[in-house]
Amino acid sequence: MLLRSLNSYTVARGDDIADAVTIGDDVLSRSDILGAATSVAERIMGAQRVAVLARPTVSTVIAVIGALIAGVPVVPVPPDSGPAELDHILADSGAQAWLGVAPEHDGGVPSVPVRLHARSWHSYAEPPVTATAFVLYTSGTTGPPKGVLLSRGAIENGLDALAEAWAWTANDVLVHGLPLYHVHGLILGILGPLRIGSRVIHTVKPTPESYAAAPGTIYFGVPTVWSRIADDPEAAGHLRGARLLVSGSAALPVPVFEKLTELTGLAPIERYGMSETLITISTRADGERRPGWVGVPVRGVETRLRDEAGNDVPHDGESIGGLQVRGPMTFEGYLNNADATAKSTTQDGWFVTGDVAVIGPDGFHRIVGRESTDLIKTGGFRVGAGEVETALLGHPSVREVAVVGVPDPDLGQRIVAYVVGEDVIEKDLIDHVASQLSVHKRPREIKSVESLPRNAMGKVQKSRLE
């Protein structure tokens, strides 16, 4: 069963938990969730797909669980989506209704209310593991978002692999304030506790103050969240009693990793994944946590590196290659887009992530970044933007940085760094990188900016840098 802790027999047996899910000031027990979600399931049974405006509310949780009970695929929609994006998601997904509150621009799609106090105890058969659970729309850099088809079996396998890697049990209390429309906040952050049986506290907003005020054993955050906590020693001190601090969705800067370790006594867990694969690589609760590296494949996952000609790249800790993964938590394909599905899968069944990485002899992985934006070919050399960014973050003048390659008639691409900081002196930063790395990896240009463009998950949107 996908959501084992919501099994009606389990709840009736006396294993109900009064505070299974807390979002802000709202608290739901297991029986609250099961009764209200089953009532939702009765009203949508037989639907093709439903859209959920994924605000950080208990109504969102009830809507999603209700659809899963009914076996109806859920299309989580970011609350800040614009009209064009909403129209595309609704038309492409074929969602027949908004489940719960609809946005002002509803696309002409009717809404089905979610009643928090309604109760039904009807029992429905568990859908097959091959059934689609979610259609998650990716925020691709080119073209409209693509709908990623995730099966129930993929989610079960993905969550169970993380439970093993992180020693995640029903005794844990997960705390996070991440958006509920993607893998990190929704599948890991809500479905994970409901499968494993642990409690979850969603802080609505992921501020240092809210994390400090929520007593937990596991905390989820993106690098922006952890950077702010690292800058707030008092808030960071409240996390010293936790078991795991988990960072994902983007690379955690090494200086933030080191500062968190110093302030909390906990070296962060870093992990790697995508909408199409869920989490495939992670450092382990019982293993080494190495700054700048995301660990080893989780249970059931295989990884490999390929060069542009399709040849193997050695696992020597230095050579950069395109990362490919294979495992039981990968997606079923892109909705209505057979061409994109085919392009993302090799003939022997590996998913082409589009990321470039390094794998060490010990199996540890370091993600260099997106092949399209973070692999810079300059003067005949292949340079990973992340390595240059890490070096720059080690300079006291730099708070944030994004490194890109821009066309250059002589070098092919020249390395340009966009820096947020104080007293930024171009020559000092260029010389700093040249003293830390090979000289050919130094930026040829430093641009001082007030901020870096980021999406809701904290990832820098390098395509918006000018």
Rounded to an integer, what distance in angstroms lies between the CA atom of residue 271 and that of residue 157? 16
**Which tokens go with 218?**
């596991």
List the CATH number of the domain containing 417.
3.30.300.30
Tell me whether residue 68 is in a domain: no
pLDDT of residue 142: 55
Cα–chain center distance at 84: 24
Mean pLDDT value of segment 259-283: 97
Tell me whether residue 362 is in a domain: no
Assess contact for 465 and 418: CB atoms under 8 A: yes
Give one DSSP letter per residue of 263-328, joined into a string.
Answer: HHS-PPEEEEEETTTEEEEE--TTS---TT--BEEPTT-EEEEE-TTS-B---SSS--EEEEEE-T
Provide the pLDDT confidence category of residue 383 given band limits of 50, 70 and 90.
Answer: confident
Look over the chain and give the mean of its residue pLDDT values, rounded to a whole number. Answer: 92
Residue 201, SS3 per DSSP? strand
Q: Render pLDDT for 41-77 as a digit per residue (tens, 0 to 9).
A: 999 999 999 999 999 999 999 999 999 999 999 999 9
Rounded to an integer, what distance in angstroms lies between the CA atom of residue 172 and that of residue 5? 14
Q: Render pLDDT for 49-58 as a digit per residue (tens, 0 to 9).
A: 999 999 999 9
Torsion, Cα of 433, 434, 436, 442 (10° steps): 50
Q: Which domain holds residue 453?
A: 375-464
pLDDT of residue 372: 75
Do the bridges between strand 199-202 and strand 173-176 make them parallel or antiparallel, or are there none, so unpaired?
A: parallel
Tell me whether residue 407 is in a domain: yes
Q: Could you tell me the pTM of the whole model? A: 0.86
Q: Render pLDDT for 226-240 as a digit per residue (tens, 0 to 9).
A: 999 999 999 999 999
pLDDT of residue 3: 86
Rounded to an integer, what distance in angstroms lies between the CA atom of residue 83 and that of residue 11? 41
Tell me whether residue 446 is in a domain: yes
Residue 28 has pLDDT above 60, yes or no: yes
Q: Which spans in 25-71 are helix H?
A: 30-44, 58-70
pLDDT of residue 10: 57
The share of the chain scoring above pLDDT 70, in percent, equals 96
Assess contact for 85 and 20: CB atoms under 8 A: no
Rounded to an integer, what distance in angstroms lies between the CA atom of residue 241 and that of residue 22? 20
Rounded to an integer, what distance in angstroms lies between the CA atom of residue 289 and that of residue 295? 7
Closest CA to 407 of 367, 441, 378, 364: 378
Hey, what amino acid is at 341? T
Of the two residues 205 and 10, the one the predictor is more confident about is 205
Tell me whether residue 327 is in a domain: no
pLDDT of residue 11: 57
Residue 5 has pLDDT above 90, yes or no: no
Tell me whether residue 399 is in a domain: yes
Tell me whether residue 108 is in a domain: no
Tell me whether residue 340 is in a domain: no
The least confident of 151-160, 207-216, 451-460 is 451-460
Rounded to an integer, what distance in angstroms lies between the CA atom of residue 435 and that of residue 158? 42
Mean pLDDT value of segment 247-256: 87
Q: How many domains does the chain have?
A: 1
Hey, what amino acid is at 198? S
Of the two residues 84 and 418, the one the predictor is more confident about is 418
Task: Sheet containing 26-28: give its strands across.
Answer: 26-28, 21-23, 199-202, 173-176, 218-221, 244-247, 269-274, 278-282, 296-297
Q: Render pLDDT for 330-345 as a digit per residue (tens, 0 to 9).
A: 999 999 999 999 999 9
Residue 150 has pLDDT above 60, yes or no: yes
Element of type H or E holding 414: strand 412-421
